Amino acid sequence: MDSVFVTRGDLPEGSYRTYRKCFRPKAIRMTGPFQCLTGEGNVVSCADGWLAIDSQGYPYPIGAAEFEATYALNEDDR
């Protein structure tokens, strides 16, 4: 089966539905460049951002600007 390669410029048309995450990811701010081994087995580099833990317990990097636009601190942790 051939895989579909999608870029931002050619997203499939259709009725997109909104979803929320079913778990509360944990993250810590990392200053400066860092790398991590993700659940997909890829070593991913991040110039500056956050190190998050996914639902399976694997680390993944999120750039600082993307993190700030996407995540908010859980009210219970304030």
Domain membership flag for residue 46: yes
What global pTM score does this model have?
0.74
Kindly state whether residue 64 falls inside one of the protein's structural domains: yes
User: Residue 64: which domain range?
Assistant: 20-71
* pLDDT of res. 21: 83
Alpha helices in the chain (DSSP H): 64-70
Measure the CA–CA gap between 46 and 62, rounded to whole angstroms.
Answer: 7
Query: What is the per-residue pLDDT for 37?
Result: 94
Backbone angles phi, psi at 63, to 5 degrees: -60, 150
1 within a domain of the structure (yes/no): no
Q: What is the pLDDT of residue 2?
A: 87
| 3-class secondary-structure state, position 27 | strand
Return the pLDDT at 78. 61
Report if residue 40 sits inside a domain.
yes
Q: What is the pLDDT of residue 35?
A: 95
Q: Is 13 contained in some domain? A: no
| Weakly modelled stretches of the chain, pLDDT under 50 | none
Q: Provide the domain count of the chain.
A: 1
